[in-house]
Structure 1
């Protein structure tokens, strides 16, 4: 449980009441919670999942030390029929699920994770190779973290957008939104729309008298 606020006396009161009712251990200032590391300075907070990435890379055991500068090659459009089906998709599903949680502090991989998660039901060798590229990208950028200044305002701003038939596999459109608290990005999501976009061509004919 995380207890936070700007009133230290009331926080102490809440912890005392909880301690009266439950067996509780006070772990002090927040530093690590569910794979998320938090460090603070006088004027800011930093949030990262460096240890989470290290554990993930250790489980994968890539077998080399290569890194890449981007999580995805430019202009790649993955299709369900690319490559050969994986004999056992369990590993692919496990890794994609781990990356979904990692995107909490690494929005730079959110788009590719969204793409790769569309193939968890029937992944192929091509999809798996792109998944390994994401892991090599994370290896080279493992120290990246989110910066949250204490001086940020509390004004809430939301932005939304949509594409038209941008998914090349099924011609479905994408809807997306992001939420800022002051200058801080606190929530984001991209979702494929249920309807299939169809382009309708209107043809007009002009008849001229002979």
Structure 2
């Protein structure tokens, strides 16, 4: 810190701050504490399941307030209460009202008769430009079929900084591009020591994005508000350590609200065990989403169906006495049984051909890939 002009610089003296300065380590904490005091004084309560979501119930309805650092979204069915909240916040903080939501943290928001549409076309263009991709080639899928990568593939990149930058940028693109989730999960495993083969896969992802740069995630206005989930796993697919990949996707009515592609932490001894572990991860997300939706006024009295294609995994979840088959599995992986018993979830069987979560566990042929993309409530528009 540089002392202001005119202040004598005596040896051994330091400045005492009366408030946090932007950029200091404790500044974000100090800002949130100050903001929390103000918002709590206005009658808002923090959600127990998302510390950045604040809710206030009034006679006219409900007001929802979501905070990300110093950016915020305010919505609700009490329009007069929303207006009053804006005025009260403006009296406490220097702020700017940007009007109806159209752009937030790199996400473009638009409204059509079909519903709300989220896209990241500008953000996608910036990534392609940052990668210095100059050609206009496009590919039909972001990854080749049945290709596996390992840390020893080819020769290491001389300067891996660009690789790490692009992978980090692609992670944020998941918000509107769930169709690249699996392949980005794969390339992100090699950020410590990427090779030329891994960089070639990055370029393939970017060429796929060039062809779908205006892809959008649709939230239909006529959709129901019932939850349904799909859970799957690709058994022992990692060529390095034979670990499986968990994949799940959860819909609220007709639109996709949560999805994941992640390597499991331990090696499974069978496909049944891998899918059983995937069911556990999906169950955690379902329970959390039900709690969060209840906070914002969407309650679910009916159990949430979680579709699984493995009959043995379904039987194990229903019957906890399969001790010989499951005694080596950690306790937390058995949590599917409890919500099932409480009628929070159900486990209907779904055939492989209709298992949407399969999209997040492996690469696919062009026809299968586009079939599954069509099930994710996305609008695909080719780049002009």
- Counterparts of 1:122 and 1:66, CA distance in 2: 27
Q: Deviations over 1:65-124 (max 9, x none)?
A: 211121111111112111101111111111001001001100111110011111111110
Please name the residue that 2:89 is paired with: 18
Please give the secondary structure, in 2, of the residue aligned with 1:25. Answer: coil
Shift of 1:176: 2.5
Match of 1:4 among 49, 69, 75: 75
Match of 1:48 among 89, 101, 119: 119
- Counterparts of 1:143 and 1:63, CA distance in 2: 19
Please name the residue that 2:255 is paired with: 184
Please name the residue that 1:202 is paired with: none
- Mapped pair 1:135 → 2:227: no
- Mapped pair 1:154 → 2:225: yes
Q: Deviations over 1:32-86 (max 9, x none)?
A: 1111000012441110000001111222221222111211111111121111011
* Structure number having the greater helix percentage: 2
- Counterparts of 1:166 and 1:144, CA distance in 2: 29
Shift of 1:137: 0.9
Please name the residue that 1:116 is paired with: 187
CA 162–73 in structure 1, closer or farther in 2 if over 3 Å, else same? closer
The answer as to whether partners of 2:244 and 2:263 remain within 8 angstroms in 1 is yes
Of structures 1 and 2, the one scoring higher in RCO (CA 8 A, sep 6+) is: 1
Please name the residue that 1:71 is paired with: 142
Match of 2:103 among 32, 39, 53: 32
- TM-score computed with the length of structure 2 as normaliser: 0.50
- Counterparts of 1:68 and 1:178, CA distance in 2: 25
The answer as to whether partners of 2:176 and 2:215 remain within 8 angstroms in 1 is no
Q: Deviations over 1:111-157 (max 9, x none)?
A: 10011111111110000001011111111111111111112222223
CA 7–153 in structure 1, closer or farther in 2 if over 3 Å, else same? farther
Stretches of structure 2 that go unaligned for 5 or more consecutive residues are 1-71, 271-384
Please name the residue that 1:206 is paired with: none
Please name the residue that 1:94 is paired with: 165
Stretches of structure 1 that go unaligned for 5 or more consecutive residues are 200-210
- Superposition CA RMSD, Å: 1.5
Instruction: Tell me the number of residue pairs that the alignment of Structure 1 and Structure 2 aligns.
Output: 199
- The runs of at least 4 aligned residues of structure 1 exceeding 6 Å deviation read none
- Counterparts of 2:76 and 2:99, CA distance in 1: 14
Please name the residue that 1:172 is paired with: 243
Please name the residue that 1:103 is paired with: 174
Moved more, 169-178 or 138-147: 169-178
Shift of 1:198: 4.9
